[in-house]
Amino acid sequence: MDRREAKESLFDHFAHVARALGNAKRLELVDLLAQGERSVETLAATSGMNLTTVSANLQALRRANLVATRREGTRIFYRLAGPHVANLYLQLHRVAETASPGLRSAAEAFLGPDDTEEIGRDELRRRLHDGSVTLLDVRPAEEYASGHLPGAVSIPYDQLADRLDELPADTEVVAYCRGPYCVLAHDAVRVLRDRGRVVRRLADGVLEWEAARLPVVNP
């Protein structure tokens, strides 16, 4: 192999990883797997994709060594291959926010209008320390169990309206879900605000929290 061929081979290895991530369905699966290990069936149910589509896209991610697996009986569970994959996914967000002019309008179409007040992680940590805020994790229960922010209580969004009395009425609530492009926290803030609660939204999810080298409660 001459020098030119070697260079082409080198960049083809980079392109192999880029091609694996160059698909919206695969990126959605990476987003879900960033919350913790999942079975194929759970990924299909959560994403709304069918099993065949999920399996095919997971295999593409596996061929690029971006996910790893384990078998439990007849079921196969997938997880990200390591924190480097999660960090790559976060960096992709940051690049897209700068490079893709249509991202903001697409996010607003999905998340709804900019009508939910946000709180930063530093203020949240101070408020948690003095006990003046209730931190609410509105992701599905299995995601909370896989890892959550310290001090967070779990009420999945689809149960929130029926479990409002579990939240103290005399403290502000801060809701979070999977990160800045997760709709669950936005909708949770709207539900709580309509019920007269003082509530804000944390843009961070567990992935962003870990990337900032902040502690996460893991099983």
Backbone Cα Rg of the chain: 19
The single residue of 177, 202, 206, 207 carrying the catalytic annotation is: 177
93, 211 contact by CB (below 8 A)? no
What are the backbone dihedrals phi and psi of residue 188, each rounded to the nearest 5 degrees, phi first? -65, -40
Tokens representing residue 30 in the block: 């990476």
Q: Which residue has the tokens 């229960």?
A: 141
Tokens representing residue 52 in the block: 């065949």
Cross-strand bridge partners of residue 148: 217
Cross-strand bridge partners of residue 176: 137
Alpha-carbon distances, residue 16 vs 21, 105, 110, 190 (angstroms): 9, 30, 30, 42
Residue 177 annotated in active site: yes
Strand order in the sheet with 38-39: 38-39, 75-80, 67-72
46, 146 contact by CB (below 8 A)? no
Residues annotated catalytic, as ranges:
177
